[in-house]
Structure 1
């Protein structure tokens, strides 16, 4: 099959290209700058010209692009979109309803929300790991001195989220939201943000914060405000948990964010996705995952990449992580700051148990989360 693969220069583009080729497909990779997700005549003309010129059979992309769905509909060709990011607002575009579009969503809660507007050609599927690349890169790699530390985290602090840029909310409204944030920080496996945003609070927020979104999108204002608040929950949670962990072991934070916001951690800078990040995961005694709160149930790609690199994963509780992996045997999950600190301290002192858990997590990823395994499922469902 000849696949037109649209890339937006995401971290995993080369992994996808390698996997599709390895499975025997011919791939035409294309990146065209996009001005608007819904309508862009120049983009559409170029996209369809390349697709037809190369006589492609299907469109494929990480994340969903309404404008590609419209081209697929016009050309009567299948479009497969594998959702890579959360929140993902284009899933609420009317274009999602096209019978020619098959969408795979890694978060079950998001899947159920989208199912209300797209009952057909919608599937739940976790994200993939390029196990072939990681195994080849790391081999018998036991740890790079540069990346050896007790605990590490790779990712953003979300300190520039939308809520933090708003300094004109009245105190009563800010106090209410701060209360919601603090409550959500204490709960794992369930997101209460949307249900705490009453109609009265929404009306008040609309006086001060305007969400500029295509009016045709089938998404509520409540959800948009919830996404904003979830980013703030994540920001505070990551700072709080990381600064706590820095008191029990050497903690290095690999990020482009302001490391000075987290007392006690060492800056690691930005690491490349394909080479340096896997070495961090393999070299660190404990790799921390603190899930972006917009990902309510799904397994973040970071968690899978850690296990795929043979690293030991300490993660907040996520329903689907608990569904696919055995806690205490393939992964270790925590349900509070105190629980996290106790488990981190224990596994820092018990190397053999830590290594056994990392190995079993690695083995599970090899068997059930490789590109080859999951792409085969996608083509069985979509074609």
Structure 2
């Protein structure tokens, strides 16, 4: 079997996917092309001609990418070659349904909500596939012990919502303020997705049209993303502010500006850490690893949670339906539904180290058994008809 692995986004998962495809005894050619993501992902005749030639130069059983690339889908359909795309973003960054309905497509989302969303729009080329973790790789990372009480690895997010709201009517501004305030307090329901409709987007565009200086015409999808990043930003600031008042709290992020440091005076700021070494070292050195989930990801288990568990460490996540489905609460992972509850759970598990470490071991065993790359790749190849059952 021959697989063409086309890596175009620099995904954290690309190296693991390649290693495990080869480990299964499958021939894998990898092509890296990070330039294609900077151009039009739907219409690029030069890319299509070049990619056709690549497919003609060898006999490939399928093409594999992380995240769906419409240009590749078009060429694979033309050449009648199965195309597997495994998304690690939720929601997926796709502008339209164009090229998604080809019968050669096998598109996998790690969030069940994304699958349901696209199937409700008539697509039968999408399936659910949770992400994976290579526990053996993380086992090789050694640290002295757990000398950090609480840590968060990740962005604080910035949002365009305040700018967008500045051009809205007073009524529209109040609508978004009420909505984001409510979503900030609610973890088990995506209020933003329910109430930010196409009608709301059209209303806002009409308001913008009356303003000669306002050239933006935001779509529902853009408004939803902007509101979600805004709530995620407030979410993380609140979480860190509350926890750092009592606990030794560390942030590893690109967001180290003075403004953030003044808002979070008790947080110990560090720069970003590398995925392959620095991140697992932080996870393994931390007693409690925070995983506040991006608010537009409605149901899927983020890679960060799997990596924390794969490092044999304790994860404290905001509520997530699929974490609740795949992990035993209080045995393999712990979730919170408010900053106050997060505070209570951090306080409890810092005092009860044996119980905390038992949960960390349980999470490790869960991901080792049920979230392996070999399993995921085998299931996707089987679904695509490339690997026989």
TM-score (norm 2): 0.90
Secondary structure of the corresponding residue to residue 60 of structure 1? strand
Taking the aligned partners of 1:41 and 1:200, their CA distance within structure 2 comes to 35
Taking the aligned partners of 2:149 and 2:328, their CA distance within structure 1 comes to 23
Deviation at 1:378, TM superposition (A): 1.2
Taking the aligned partners of 2:112 and 2:238, their CA distance within structure 1 comes to 28
Deviation at 1:56, TM superposition (A): 2.1
Taking the aligned partners of 1:295 and 1:379, their CA distance within structure 2 comes to 26
Determine whether 1:189 maps to 2:188. Answer: yes
Moved more, 5-14 or 277-286: 5-14
Determine whether 1:375 maps to 2:366. Answer: no
Taking the aligned partners of 1:91 and 1:323, their CA distance within structure 2 comes to 30
Taking the aligned partners of 1:211 and 1:276, their CA distance within structure 2 comes to 41
Which of 96, 101, 105 does residue 105 from structure 2 map onto? 101
Secondary structure of the corresponding residue to residue 50 of structure 1? helix
Determine whether 1:176 maps to 2:201. Answer: no
**1:147-162 map, 5 Å:** 148-159=147-158, 161-162=159-160
**1:301-316 map, 5 Å:** 301-316=303-318
Deviation at 1:194, TM superposition (A): 2.8
Residue of structure 2 equivalent to 1:202: 201
Contact 1:189 1:297 in 2 (8 A): no
**1:240-251 map, 5 Å:** 240-251=238-249
Secondary structure of the corresponding residue to residue 189 of structure 2? coil
Contact 1:91 1:114 in 2 (8 A): no
Taking the aligned partners of 2:198 and 2:154, their CA distance within structure 1 comes to 34
Post-superposition CA distance 1:103-140 (Å, at most 9, x none): 111111111011123542321111111222112334xx
Deviation at 1:262, TM superposition (A): 3.0
Moved more, 40-49 or 269-278: 40-49
Residue of structure 2 equivalent to 1:40: 44
Deviation at 1:17, TM superposition (A): 1.1
Deviation at 1:91, TM superposition (A): 7.3
Residue of structure 2 equivalent to 1:358: 360
Contact 1:299 1:320 in 2 (8 A): yes
Which of 223, 226, 242 does residue 224 from structure 2 map onto? 226
Residue of structure 1 equivalent to 2:212: none
Deviation at 1:285, TM superposition (A): 0.6
Structure 1 portions without partners, runs of 5+: 213-220
Gap change, CA 1:254 and 1:135, over 3 Å in 2: same
Determine whether 1:54 maps to 2:58. Answer: yes
Residue of structure 1 equivalent to 2:17: 16
Contact 2:108 2:128 in 1 (8 A): yes
How many residue pairs end up in the alignment?
Answer: 369
Post-superposition CA distance 1:254-303 (Å, at most 9, x none): 11113424332111211000111011111101000100011001111111
Which of 70, 77, 84 does residue 88 from structure 2 map onto? 84
Structure 2 portions without partners, runs of 5+: 209-214
Secondary structure of the corresponding residue to residue 313 of structure 2? coil
Determine whether 1:321 maps to 2:323. Answer: yes
Deviation at 1:175, TM superposition (A): 2.5
Taking the aligned partners of 2:283 and 2:197, their CA distance within structure 1 comes to 42
Taking the aligned partners of 2:353 and 2:242, their CA distance within structure 1 comes to 21
Secondary structure of the corresponding residue to residue 65 of structure 2? strand
